[in-house]
Structure 1
């Protein structure tokens, strides 16, 4: 019941963001500023606090990296097969990337931090780093290839090199691996700031959700939903069970892959010739339905 209560609270905050956008309180400018606070301040603080006491050798393993890559590429491959006959390339490209591109940063790490202990959160932060380095270039490549768009993949890779979340992850793991200490007041302050990551992220996601019901392609959207919030976490469950990883790694991996489609896929679609209405709809539906699927999954692994 505690897990259900937490996820219902998250759903309320998510819908609050949608309501604030509809009333004009969270307009585009305010949403952008709120998004910047979440992305550049709260989420990095959460990641640093969860990792600065952990040595990288205790979190990163061959089994973890291999399992993450296997789940990601197998899901992407299945998505390619499922969506290969979509009517248009702009819709096909969006359907493929949204079937595997997970919202592991804004929702995954903060949700795990609010639900599980610091060890699971630290592993989730490492998963965020590894998966982001792969899924972002992969999505840009797929969109640009199918839509004939001019994508500067090199520029995207340079953006990754200055990504505040990844830089904070490296800083936290470096402090932990070197056995350095962080002053108590600083750690407490960062912990407080990090606790804001999830509510801020949910408000931003809610303010970004839009849906045009008359334009719903039920078959395409249903396939994206099935692959993203059902098949991908199920595959992660099988893969990491077979790898016989520890309980914390198993929990972090399965829950992270169970997160909905990332809002950033809508941005990529807009930049690289994808079907933006379709992308927006899929973000909305996977986010809304994932509240129920995450409750079931967290109950099973918790």
Structure 2
């Protein structure tokens, strides 16, 4: 399927998710079960099947690690400067949503559906490394800039037991040790992994809830500029200078070109941020990413 048609299909699934929520088909209970199926089954299966045949030394390089850190830190620094004069009500959310990427529910499944297996395997590693950076950073920023009572250490414990990270570690361990996996099990996991993208998009769509009243459109505009434009542009420049292999370059640019993660809305709700503003930013960056990701995929291809 051509890239444009694939992205239009993704947008269609997002719209279907929104429609299912509005009509009540995906109520809170059903949406929670769908999210659990995606988070605990489909995504871990996709990550494992993408990495279990390759050694960690083949996927993780010093240049990749350095590049990921540089891009995240540079984007956070720019966001801090740009949002320093934003309304106190929106500042913390605008800051974290400018860099916190939707790597799991959109980035990795999209890469898997678009590129070859090696690119997908590297994208899985990127998901694990960047999650270990952006999730604690987001929790720390929201906790420090609000009156949240949620304990920072409690949130970090949730990160350690993250099924996405655990499946990545298991997959890399199997690949590095050369342990054989029965073909029946591999086939079943591969089938489950193919469900990750459609299920994740339905989850994202069902979670989008936009209230356009009393929002800071300027702050949202800067979030879009940083997340959809600046971050992938930084990734392009940084990984070009680092002269990484084509598969690493492709995976890095596309993964950083993903929109703001839906989880930032959850964190904002739990840690004292403005949840309506967070929901708007997730919706806008996700909608615009259908165009920006199309451009990025065409360019790196």
Q: TM-score range by the shorter chain?
A: over 0.9
Counterpart contact for 1:147–1:272, Cα < 8 Å: yes
TM-score norm. by structure 2 comes to 0.98
What residue is the counterpart of 1:227 in the other structure?
226
What residue is the counterpart of 2:174 in the other structure?
175
- Alignment deviations for residues 283-302 of structure 1 (CA, whole Å, 9 cap, x no partner): 00000110110001000001
Q: Distance in 2 between matches of 1:65 and 1:290?
A: 25
- Alignment deviations for residues 212-246 of structure 1 (CA, whole Å, 9 cap, x no partner): 12333221100000000100000000000000000
Counterpart contact for 2:143–2:152, Cα < 8 Å: no
Q: Distance in 2 between matches of 1:285 and 1:228?
A: 11
What residue is the counterpart of 1:156 in the other structure?
155
Counting only pairs closer than 5 Å after superposition, residues 107-126 of structure 1 correspond to structure 2 as: 107-126=106-125
Q: What's the offset of the Cα at 1:155?
A: 1.5
- Alignment deviations for residues 21-72 of structure 1 (CA, whole Å, 9 cap, x no partner): 0000011110000000000000000000000000000001111111001100
Counterpart contact for 1:140–1:151, Cα < 8 Å: no
TM-score norm. by structure 1 comes to 0.98
What residue is the counterpart of 1:144 in the other structure?
143
Counterpart contact for 1:72–1:100, Cα < 8 Å: yes
Gaps of 5+ in 1: none
Number of equivalences:
301
Alignment RMSD (CA, Å): 0.9
Counting only pairs closer than 5 Å after superposition, residues 254-265 of structure 1 correspond to structure 2 as: 254-265=253-264
What residue is the counterpart of 2:206 in the other structure?
207
- Alignment deviations for residues 143-181 of structure 1 (CA, whole Å, 9 cap, x no partner): 111113234221222112211111110111011000111
Counterpart contact for 1:7–1:291, Cα < 8 Å: yes
Please identify, of 133-142 and 154-163, the stretch whose mean Cα deviation from structure 2 is larger: 154-163
Q: Distance in 1 between matches of 2:200 and 2:87?
A: 34
Q: Distance in 1 between matches of 2:77 and 2:130?
A: 16
3-state DSSP class of the match of 1:4? helix
Counterpart contact for 1:75–1:232, Cα < 8 Å: yes
Counting only pairs closer than 5 Å after superposition, residues 259-274 of structure 1 correspond to structure 2 as: 259-274=258-273
In structure 2, do the counterparts of structure 1 residues 226 and 111 end up closer, same or farther at CA, with 3 Å as the change threshold?
A: same
Gaps of 5+ in 2: none
What residue is the counterpart of 2:97 in the other structure?
98
